[in-house]
A = this chain, B = another copy of it.
């Protein structure tokens, strides 16, 4: 049983979803682990990690529209708006969609379903550099 850990850096162009399935799969392959778990984690409070349908881009556009309506930018409800109208919404959106994600590793591969992609979701409107740590554990 071993642990393999590596860092992925994602340069975002502002709000939206950025697929990192390939990088996550490569980390699993680099680990040489046959059976176990693959944990993905982002070290921020205004970006999240999510599994989403990976075939039709309209799914991710609708997801964004839904979130914009659910957690409106510049809502007068928010006291915390130091960094702008998207500041507090970015924190809430990250909490609702999570900063961590764990996938099974089966027969040396990341056990994603056919339509599941791993996405880093940038919730701030401006570009950011996001750090993601992938930890693979198993036999």
Name the prevailing secondary structure of the A interface residues: mixed
The yes or no answer to A100 lying at the interface (CB within 8 A) is yes
Are A95 and B97 in contact, CB atoms less than 8 angstroms apart? yes
Find chain B residues with CB under 8 A from A91 CB: 52-53, 59, 62-63
Residues of B within 8 A of A114 (CB): 43
CB nearest to A138 among chain B residues: B3
User: How far does the Cβ of A25 sit from chain B's closest Cβ, in whole Å?
Assistant: 15
A80, CB-defined interface residue at 8 Å: yes
Give the number of residues in A that approach B within 8 Å (Cβ atoms).
Answer: 61
Given A82-B56, A138-B137, check contact A39 B37 (CB 8 Å).
Answer: yes
Residues on A facing B (Cβ under 8 Å): 1-3, 5, 35-37, 39, 41-45, 50-53, 56, 58-59, 61-63, 65-66, 69-71, 77-80, 82, 88, 91-92, 94-106, 111-116, 131, 133, 135, 137-139
A-B contact pairs, 13 of them (CB 8 A): A3-B35, A41-B104, A43-B112, A45-B52, A51-B94, A51-B95, A52-B91, A62-B91, A65-B77, A65-B78, A70-B70, A96-B96, A105-B135
